[in-house]
């Protein structure tokens, strides 16, 4: 993507799946990247593969003071982020509405939703200006479909992220564009054992117009477009990357 060579793209949950693919696409576009994650081993593997244009830090994005502290280390340095990708997320334990566990409600809301507010707030105070400044949030088609059975809490957080994206786009215009991606079924570790089961994959594929799940690299391609000046007139939108589902 032309125009991202001076960018520093901060990716939360950057050690795995879609986040890692966005880190790799950002580096390939000439940008530098910062990956925050709770998975220390995943971050180390990512650092080893990506070289010195990637900086990593172990940060739990559901912890407001950890987020503020990690941003304080970047702010004012050559690694102050110009772009933010709020990607970290979990599905959480499958639960019926009648049995929702308050501790699990708090945990999923904190990791998937409060983290987006914490990281956005920290980014606004610690960022370095850039002509194509942008924030990208990871919603999901679950925001509209309600998600898989037992994942109402997950779907709720992804719907809230879509609403937040539209509100933030209005508030932060014209300085910063804010968009979201709504992936469908993408082959990453968040899907658990689904991709180890050929029967399940075939069943899922039959419900997708493009007849297959997507890859993290395909989501990253859409992410890089939304982050780049090629999307200069695009803000407040939720872009499906879902094979037509
Ligand atoms: P993944 O599990 O491969 O990656 C998520 C990463 O987030 C992991 O590295 C994990 O360690 C990290 N993380 C979890 N909790 C964290 C915390 N508290 N602080 C910091 N990092 C934390 O999953 P993925 O599929 O790459 O998911 C990335 C995003 O895409 C998520 O927000 C997910 O909801 C969304 N999404 C995924 C799919 C899919 O089918 N894979 C579909 C729609 C939306």
Q: Residue 85 in contact with residue 177, Cβ under 8 Å?
A: no
Active site residues: 154
Region 8-241: CATH code: 3.40.50.720
The CA 59 to ligand 1 mean position distance, Å, reads 14
β-bridge partners, 54: 33
Respond yes or no on whether the N-terminal peptide bond of residue 174 is cis (omega within 30° of 0).
yes
Q: Where on the phi/psi map is residue 14: left (φ > 0), alpha (ψ -120 to 50), or beta?
A: alpha
Closest atom of ligand 1 relative to the 13 alpha carbon? 7
Please tell me if the CB atom of residue 88 comes closer than 6 angstroms to any atom of ligand 1: yes
Give me ligand 1 centre to Cα 20, in Å: 10
Encode the chain (245 residues) as per-residue pLDDT tens digits. Answer: 458 999 999 999 999 999 999 999 999 999 999 999 999 999 999 999 999 999 999 999 999 999 999 999 999 999 999 999 999 999 999 999 999 999 999 999 999 999 999 999 999 999 999 999 999 999 999 999 999 999 999 999 999 999 999 999 999 999 999 999 999 999 999 998 889 898 989 999 999 999 999 999 999 999 999 999 999 999 999 999 999 99
Structure token pair of residue 128: 């370095």
Position 1 scores a pLDDT of 45
The CA distances from residue 225 to 20, 22, 78, 134, in Å, are 16, 11, 24, 11
Extents of the domains making up the chain: 8-241
**In DSSP terms, which residues pair with 33 in a beta bridge?**
9, 54
Quote the pLDDT of residue 192. 87
Residues in Cβ contact with 174 at an 8 Å cutoff, skipping those fewer than 6 apart: none
Q: Does the beta carbon of 43 lie inside 6 Å of ligand 1? A: no
Is residue 183 within 8 Å of 219, Cβ to Cβ? yes
Q: Is 40 in the pocket of ligand 1 (CB under 6 A)?
A: no
């Amino acid at each position: 993507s032309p125009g991202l060579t001076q960018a520093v793209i901060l990716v939360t949950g950057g050690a795995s799946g879609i986040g890692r693919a966005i880190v790799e696409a950002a580096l390939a576009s000439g940008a530098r990247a910062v990956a925050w994650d709770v998975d220390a081993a995943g971050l180390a593997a990512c650092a080893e593969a990506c070289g010195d244009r990637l900086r990593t830090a172990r940060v739990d994005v559901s912890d407001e003071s950890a987020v503020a502290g990690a941003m304080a280390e970047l702010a004012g340095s050559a690694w102050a982020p110009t772009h933010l990708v709020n990607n970290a997320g979990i599905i959480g334990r499958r639960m019926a509405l009648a049995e929702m566990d308050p501790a699990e409600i708090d945990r999923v809301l904190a990791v998937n939703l409060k983290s987006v507010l914490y990281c956005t707030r920290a980014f606004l105070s610690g960022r370095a200006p850039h002509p194509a400044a942008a924030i990208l949030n990871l919603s999901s088609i679950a925001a509209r479909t309600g998600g898989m059975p037992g994942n109402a809490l997950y779907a709720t957080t992804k719907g809230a992220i879509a609403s937040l994206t539209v509100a933030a786009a209005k508030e932060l215009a014209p300085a910063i564009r804010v968009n979201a991606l709504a992936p469908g079924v993408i082959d990453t570790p968040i899907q658990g054992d689904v991709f180890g089961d050929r029967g399940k994959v075939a069943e899922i594929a039959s419900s997708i117009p493009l007849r297959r799940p997507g890859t993290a690299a395909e989501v990253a391609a859409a992410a890089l477009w939304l982050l780049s000046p090629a999307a200069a007139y695009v803000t407040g939108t939720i872009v499906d990357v879902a094979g037509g589902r």
